[in-house]
A and B are shown apart, each in its own frame.
Chain A
Amino acid sequence: MANQIALRRPVLDGLSVQRQWVSVKPAAPASRIALRAPAESLSQLSASLSLTLPSKVRASATSGTRTALCLGPDEWLIIDADGVDIAGEMAGVEAFYSAVDVSHRNVGIIVAGEGAQAAISAGCPQDLALREFPVRACCRTILGKSEIVLQRTGDQEFRVECWRSFADYVFTFLQEASRDPLI
């Protein structure tokens, strides 16, 4: 603590919504890396991360506390517990890649419960039915007027990631949507 030069204040600190069908809660602070890499680099990167990077867009993989979301043909968002030095683990990889620490750019929100899918569908135009968007599916998409990254973490649980400056809007949107989800 002696070396701490700035205090991080989570933007959604203390906010939490619990309704009959849906709960909306801020996710714990996390380490995040925006990773770009060509196909040839994937095996080396996967080995250094101890996690096989999914090569199919909209797929995700989890190992322990670490999750890799494939958002584009050469793009991944890697999320791990707060304080984990993900980029440091990849430092020895000689294959070509780009890793940018976006830990504090994003905010995670967990939407759970029987009405979770309906609450997100209030602002997301994609078909989120289980057969179209199964557990572990993920994508970059839209919620209301904001861009989000969405991951289905369970039959009735989603992780919504948005940029920090949009967090107030996204949380409020989900809060309102959870009032009366159309199940």
Chain B
Amino acid sequence: MLLIRCPYCEKDLPEVEFRHAGEAHLVRPSNITEMSDAEFEGYFFIRQNPKGIVFERWRHVHGCGRFFNAARDSVSDKFLTTYKAGEPKPVLGDRE
């Protein structure tokens, strides 16, 4: 079982307490009524899904209930870091 660090509980906790909640750092456009269908599709449906480092939202649903963000390697499934919602993307630098 993976352990995931919840930045609100400040603890490594079992993955079954968490739920994945999609790509992180998506910004909701302020002009949705003026957007073309293609632009809206891009915001609403199109995701990066890269192989390697991904930035994701997670929710500690069976715990403190909070959404937070995580940087994870989609090849190894390893969590590189987790951080509170609203904080900027971390610089991953020399993390393995």
- Report A's interface with B, CB cutoff 8 A: 57-58, 71-73, 75, 125-126, 139-142, 147
Contact = CB atoms under 8 A, between A and B. Distances in A.
Contacts of B14: 125-126, 142
Given A125-B16, A125-B17, A140 B65 contact: yes
B66 A140 contact: no
**10 A-B pairs closest in CB distance:** A125-B14, A72-B64, A72-B65, A57-B9, A142-B62, A73-B8, A147-B62, A57-B64, A140-B63, A125-B16
B17 A58 contact: no
Contacts of A147: 62
A90 B10 CA distance: 30
Contacts of B10: 57
A108 B1 CA distance: 29
Interface in B1-37: 1, 8-11, 13-14, 16-17
Contacts of A73: 8, 64, 66
Contact of B62 (A58, A75, A140): A140
B75 to A, nearest CB: 25
Consensus secondary structure, chain A interface: strand
Nearest to B65: A72
A71 B62 contact: no
Contacts of B65: 71-72, 75, 140
A57 B64 CA distance: 8
Contacts of A141: 17, 62-63
Contact of B16 (A57, A58, A140, A142): A142
A140 B1 contact: no
Contacts of A57: 8-10, 64
B17 A142 contact: yes
Contacts of B11: 58
B16 A139 contact: no
Nearest to A148: B62
Interface string B63-95: 111100000000000000000000000000000
